[in-house]
């Protein structure tokens, strides 16, 4: 009865009709299955090459015994540990099923038809998805021009210029994915200072722990000064728990209270909560991850420079590299050589690949494969 199928597209909310699904990095198993190869390298999703911390793993394994019960819906122990880490009270914290969940909670709480959210060109793909899914307008501000010291980054003046009375939320990724670009302390604070208190400023700090730039701000320190500020962090990146889905928001307690009204009661599983708690105790794993990343960024950056490829300055655990031609074909050719990276045409960067910093051997594999494919 196909002829009777309703036109579901017409039934969908207008904002949903124009969305494209989020494109995740290709899973290793999928590549190995499709190409009949083994030992492939995945540098496509900004995951930690050191993997999960042994302390987090131990905590997760022992928490498995308790999975017949619902998790603690209030995340008491994890929130207490995070509160201590950030020197604030637990009432400032909202736990999420990954920080994406927190971004969605913000949209569902503060956006809807007739409102808009403003964010930058080349910004993280979840911002338009979360915005349009609730019927709000996604407004894109031009990125900083290619001839700037930090090209393709957020242009806060352009973002401010796109705002109006309907603006409910501004999303700022610092550093941004997929560009790796970051905003300096004075710049970001100046922006927050000028922002009307009625606009929720989301500062997405998914890569916070990796950043070593001296002028990079910790926006969580500004919560008291800016009650409309919400900072998001995640356990998916440096903490190596991407597969468990834990992130959190830091905000004024009144904002956290609202987000928690919308939140699904058991959005973070018990194993994930336990693993996150374990990960917080392993400072050494974080230190080793930072150090490995620093070396890998240099290794990849220097190799790409020798190959004559343009690279966007990055403060995170990945590099966006300009391959000087439509990157889709290069991506496919790398797949055939057992290397998964991320094409970012859907982010408005059609000649770029985003390459996650891996362990030295993985970085070498991507460098060699890219050299072969580009013949440089």
Ligand X SMILES: *Cc1c(COP(=O)(O)O)cnc(C)c1O
Binding site for ligand X (CB under 6 A): 46, 98-100, 124, 173, 177, 204, 206, 234, 236-237, 242, 247
The answer to whether the beta carbons of residues 56 and 81 sit under 8 Å apart is: no
Query: Where is 201: in which H helix or E strand?
Result: strand 200-204
Tell me how far apart the alpha carbons of residues 122 and 119 are, in angstroms, rounded to a whole number: 9
Q: How far is the CB of 124 from ligand X (least distance, A)?
A: 4
Tell me how far apart the alpha carbons of residues 38 and 41 are, in angstroms, rounded to a whole number: 9
Sign of CA dihedral 188, 193, 199, 202: positive
Residue 305 has which token pair?
A: 């420079």
Taking alpha carbons only, the member of 267, 212, 266, 278 closest to residue 239 is: 278
Whether the bond between 178 and the residue before it is cis, its omega within 30 degrees of 0, is: yes
What one-character-per-residue DSSP string does 30-45 give? HHHHHHT--S-EE-SS
Q: Is 124 or 347 the residue whose CB approaches ligand X more closely? A: 124
Which residues make Cβ contacts (< 8 Å) with residue 347, sequence separation at least 6?
Answer: 122, 123, 125, 178
> Which residue has 């579901």 as its token pair?
8
Taking alpha carbons only, the member of 194, 152, 206 closest to residue 170 is: 194
Quickly list H helices, 49-98. Answer: 54-64, 76-86
DSSP designation for 71: P
| Beta pairing partners, 356 | 318
Position of minimal CB gap to ligand X: 98
């Amino acid at each position: 009865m196909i002829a009777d199928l309703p036109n579901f597209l017409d039934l969908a909310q207008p904002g949903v009709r124009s969305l494209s699904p989020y494109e995740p990095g290709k899973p290793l198993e999928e590549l190995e299955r499709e190409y009949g190869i083994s030992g492939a390298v995945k540098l496509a999703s900004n995951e930690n090459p050191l993997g999960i911390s042994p302390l987090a793993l131990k905590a997760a394994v022992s928490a498995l015994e308790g999975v017949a019960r619902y998790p603690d819906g209030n995340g008491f122990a994890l929130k207490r540990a995070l509160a201590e880490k950030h020197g604030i009270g637990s009432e400032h914290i909202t736990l999420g099923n990954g920080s994406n969940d927190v971004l969605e909670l913000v949209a569902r709480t503060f956006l809807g038809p007739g409102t808009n959210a403003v964010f930058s060109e080349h910004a993280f793909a979840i911002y338009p998805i979360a915005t349009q899914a609730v019927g709000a307008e996604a407004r894109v501000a031009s990125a900083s021009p290619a001839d700037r010291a930090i090209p393709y980054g957020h242009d806060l003046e352009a973002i401010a210029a796109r705002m109006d009375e309907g603006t409910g939320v501004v999303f700022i990724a610092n550093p941004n994915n997929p560009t790796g670009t970051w905003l300096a302390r004075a710049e970001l604070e100046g922006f927050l200072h000028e922002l009307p208190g009625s606009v929720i400023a989301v500062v997405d700090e998914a890569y916070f722990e990796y950043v070593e730039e001296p002028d990079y701000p910790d926006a969580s320190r500004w919560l008291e000064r800016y009650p409309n500020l919400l900072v998001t962090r995640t356990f998916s990146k440096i903490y190596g728990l991407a597969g468990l889905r834990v992130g959190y928001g830091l905000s004024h307690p009144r904002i956290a209270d609202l987000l928690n009204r919308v939140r699904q009661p058991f959005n973070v599983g018990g194993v994930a909560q336990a693993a996150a708690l374990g990960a917080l105790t392993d400072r050494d794993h974080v230190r080793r991850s930072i150090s490995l990343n620093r070396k890998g960024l240099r290794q990849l950056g220097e190799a790409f420079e020798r190959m004559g490829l343009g690279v966007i300055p990055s403060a995170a655990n990945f590099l966006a590299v300009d391959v000087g031609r439509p990157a889709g074909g290069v991506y496919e050719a790398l797949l055939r050589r057992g290397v998964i990276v991320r094409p970012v045409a859907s982010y408005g960067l059609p000649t770029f690949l985003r390459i996650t910093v891996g362990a030295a051997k993985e970085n070498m594999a991507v460098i060699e494969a890219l050299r072969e494919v580009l013949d440089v």
